[in-house]
Structure 1
Amino acid sequence: MGRETILRVADLKQHFKVSKHYTVKAVNGVSFDIHEGETYGLVGESGSGKSTIGRTIIRLYEPTAGVITFRGADISGTLREKEQTLLRTKMQMIFQDPMASLNPRKKVIDIIAQGLDIHKLYRTKQERQEKVERILEKVGLSREHANRYPHQFSGGQRQRIGIARALIMEPGLIIADEAISALDVSIQAQVVNLLKSIQEETNTAFLFISHDLSMVKYISDRIGVLHLGYLVETGTTEVIFERPVHPYTKSLLSAIPHANPLKEKTRVTLSYDYADSGIDYARGTEQALSATHSVLATEEDFSLWTGK
C-alpha cells in the first residue's frame, strides 16, 4: 500500500467474567492493521464485538490477551507515562450518543479544550480560545457557539462538537464508534462528508465502527466483517462488496435495500445461521478467518472454516 501502519491489532481477545462459571467472550483473536490516512470499516450485527474492539484499543477496557501497537508503541500492557501520553493525545474517540458524551454543565469551549487543558497544550488563554474557535469553524459551527451549552444544539451539531473535541488534539487515529447511528439520515450524510474532508486535509486515519453497510461502503478503504467476536472476512471495500467469500458476509450484503424499486422487488435475502452452518470459527487459521483477498479465497481456504 505504501502507507505506514499506524495501528496493528494482533490476536486481540476481550473476555468479561460475568460469574464464577460464565465468561462472555466478546472478542476472540481478532487481527487487523490500519494505515495512515485510511478508513478501516468494522461491520457486524449488534453484539458482534465491534464497539468492544474500539473501546479496548483506546484502553477503556483492559485487553484480556493480544497485542495492540500504535505508532510503533505497545499499548496493550501496563501503560508507562510515555505510552499513556501518546495514546491520550494521538488517538481519539467519537462516541455514539452525542448528548451522553458531552458534559451538560460545561460550555462548548471547555468541552472541546479539555484535552488541551489536561496536557497543557497552550501558552495563553487567548491561544486556547483561538484553537477552539478555529476547530469549531472547521466542523461547520461558528465562534459564537463556543459559549453555549450542549442542550442548546441539535443532535447533528452535538456530534460536530464531539468531532471538534477529538480533532483539536491533532490525532493520528480517530475511532468513530457508531458515530452517526443516532442521527437523522440527512445529518448522517453531512457528518460522514465532514469526516472525509477532514481526512483529506489532515491525513488522519479512522476506525469506522458501524452496522450500516451502505455508509461503511461510502467512507471505508478497507472493511472487516465481525461475527460472534471473530473477524470472519476482511479486504478492500470493492472486493468485500463485489466478491464476498464468507456466507455471513453474503447474508449481510443481501439485506441492503436497493434504491431502484424494480431491483428491490427481485432482491433475494440470504439467511445464515452459525449453529447450522457447519463452520467452526475457532478452527480457522488466521489466513482463512481473515480472507485478506490478496487473491480470492479458494474452496481449500474455506475448508479451514468448515473443518471439512
Structure 2
Amino acid sequence: MNEKPILDVRNLKQHFKINKKFTVKAVDEVSFKIYPGETYGLVGESGSGKSTIGRSIIRLYKPTSGEVVFDDVLISGNLSKETTNHLRTKMQMIFQDPMASLNPRKKVMDIIAQGLDNYKLYTNERDREEKVYKILEKVGLSGEHAKRYPHQFSGGQRQRIGIARALIMNPSLIIADEAISALDVSIQAQVVNLMKEIQEETKITYLFIAHDLSMVKYISDRIGVLHLGHLVETGTKNEIFNNPIHPYTKSLLSAIPEPNPIAVRNSVSMHYDYAASGIDYTKGTLHCVSGEHYVLSTEEEFKKWK
C-alpha cells in the first residue's frame, strides 16, 4: 500500500515485572500498520497478547519499549497534554464485557456523553442531548433508552451503548477488544454488521481483536496472527486463509468448526507445540511472502515453509 498508515506500531514490547526474578513478556517486538478506513484483525489464543496490544496502543498501559505512531503523532513515550487530548478524542475503545465497562450508577445519557463532558464538545445542554439521541439512533437504539440504567438492557443492547460511547467522539480509530465474544451468536452478527455499516458511512478504522476466526475473516481486510506475544504472520484475509505459512496459523485454521459433516470426516486437525517445534520466535524476523503477507521465521524456516 502506498497510502500512509493511520497507526504504525514498531517493535512494541509490553513486559510486566512480577518479582525480581520473573518478568512476563506479554508482547514482544510486535510491528504492524493499519491504514485509514480498513479493519485490521488480531487473532490468537487466550493469553497471546491481543488485548494487551490494544491497551498499550490506547495507553491504558505504558509500553515497555517500541514506538506507536497515530495520526503522525508519537503516542508511546511521555505524553504532553496536547498529545493526550488528541489520543483521547481520536482513538476510542469498545471493551469485551459491556456490563463491566458501563457505570451502573449512571444513566445511558451520561455514560455516552462522558467524552463530550470531559472535552466540552457541545455548546449547550440541548446540543449535548441531541448528539446523544442521534448516536443512539445510529446504533439501533431510541432516545427513550437514554433515561435508563445499564442493568435494564440486554447484553447486545449494552454493547451497542458501548459502541455509541466510542462513536460520539467522532474518532479516527476504534479498538474493538473482543467486543462480541460475550454475546450470543445471533447478536454477534448484528453487532458486527452494525460496525461494518458505520465504517461504510464514516470511513472509520478498526483494530478488531478476537479469537473467532470466522468472524475475523468476515469483518477484516488484513489479519495479524499472535502467539506467545509475537506476531507470527500477517497479511490480507485471503493470504492468511488461503495460503497460511506459519505452522501455528495452519493449526489455528484447522481448528475452525466445519458445518458440513462430510467435510469434518475428511478434515485433519493440525497440532502445534511451540516447545517441541524447535522454533525460536526471538531469533526470527518478518519475511515477506508476497504483497502484504509476512511471516516470522529464520531464513532456514522460511525456505522450508515456503
Which TM bucket (shorter chain)?
A: over 0.9
| Equivalent in the alignment of 1:108 | 108
| Equivalent in the alignment of 1:145 | 145
Query: Do residues 71 (structure 1) and 68 (structure 2) align?
Result: no
Query: Do residues 260 (structure 1) and 260 (structure 2) align?
Result: yes
| Equivalent in the alignment of 1:32 | 32
Measure how far apart 1:228 and its partner are: 0.5
Query: Do residues 156 (structure 1) and 171 (structure 2) align?
Result: no
| Equivalent in the alignment of 1:183 | 183
How far apart in 1 are the matches of 2:71 and 2:9? 12
SS at match of 1:269: coil
CA-to-partner distance for each residue in 1:65-121, whole Å, 9 max, x for gaps?
A: 000000000000010011101100000000000000000000000000000000000
Q: Aligned ranges for residues 234-249 of structure 1 at < 5 Å?
A: 234-249=234-249
CA 1:94–1:292 in 2, change beyond 3 Å: closer, same or farther?
Answer: farther
Conservation of the 8 A alpha-carbon contact between 2:235 and 2:294? no
How far apart in 1 are the matches of 2:130 and 2:294? 52
CA 1:3–1:210 in 2, change beyond 3 Å: closer, same or farther?
Answer: same
The one-letter code of the counterpart of 1:41 is G
SS at match of 1:174: strand
| Equivalent in the alignment of 1:303 | 300
How far apart in 2 are the matches of 1:292 and 1:165? 40
SS at match of 2:79: coil
Q: Aligned ranges for residues 56-95 of structure 1 at < 5 Å?
A: 56-95=56-95
How far apart in 1 are the matches of 2:164 and 2:289? 34
SS at match of 1:5: coil
CA 1:258–1:274 in 2, change beyond 3 Å: closer, same or farther?
Answer: same
Measure how far apart 1:267 and its partner are: 1.4
How far apart in 1 are the matches of 2:219 and 2:19? 40
How far apart in 2 are the matches of 1:128 and 1:99? 24
How far apart in 2 are the matches of 1:159 and 1:97? 8
How far apart in 1 are the matches of 2:192 and 2:293? 30
| Equivalent in the alignment of 2:291 | 294
CA-to-partner distance for each residue in 1:38-89, whole Å, 9 max, x for gaps?
A: 0000000000000000000000001000000000000000100111011000
TM-score, normalising length from structure 2? 0.96
Name the stretch that deviates more: 254-263 or 11-20. Answer: 254-263
| Equivalent in the alignment of 2:52 | 52
CA 1:256–1:137 in 2, change beyond 3 Å: closer, same or farther?
Answer: same
Name the stretch that deviates more: 255-264 or 85-94. Answer: 255-264
The one-letter code of the counterpart of 2:162 is G
Measure how far apart 1:233 and its partner are: 0.2
SS at match of 2:290: coil
CA 1:131–1:296 in 2, change beyond 3 Å: closer, same or farther?
Answer: closer
SS at match of 2:199: helix
Conservation of the 8 A alpha-carbon contact between 2:12 and 2:67? yes
CA-to-partner distance for each residue in 1:234-291, whole Å, 9 max, x for gaps?
A: 0000010000000000000000011222112211100000011111110112x23xx5
How far apart in 1 are the matches of 2:8 and 2:170? 20
CA 1:166–1:198 in 2, change beyond 3 Å: closer, same or farther?
Answer: same
How far apart in 2 are the matches of 1:32 and 1:98? 28
How far apart in 2 are the matches of 1:267 and 1:125? 60
Measure how far apart 1:305 and its partner are: 6.4
Give the percent of matched residue pairs that are identical in Structure 1 and Structure 2: 68
Conservation of the 8 A alpha-carbon contact between 1:279 and 1:306? no
Conservation of the 8 A alpha-carbon contact between 1:280 and 1:307? no
| Equivalent in the alignment of 2:21 | 21
Name the stretch that deviates more: 107-116 or 262-271. Answer: 262-271
Measure how far apart 1:293 and its partner are: 3.3
Q: Aligned ranges for residues 99-138 of structure 1 at < 5 Å?
A: 99-138=99-138
Q: How many residues align?
A: 304
CA 1:302–1:242 in 2, change beyond 3 Å: closer, same or farther?
Answer: farther
Measure how far apart 1:3 and its partner are: 3.6
How far apart in 2 are the matches of 1:297 and 1:46? 22
The one-letter code of the counterpart of 2:46 is S
The one-letter code of the counterpart of 1:114 is Q
How far apart in 2 are the matches of 1:176 and 1:93? 6
Q: Where has structure 1 moved over 2 Å in runs of 4 or more?
A: 1-4, 295-298, 304-308
How far apart in 2 are the matches of 1:22 and 1:159? 37
The alignment yields a C-alpha RMSD, in angstroms, of: 1.8
Instruction: Give unpaired runs (5+ residues) of structure 2.
Output: none
The one-letter code of the counterpart of 2:290 is H
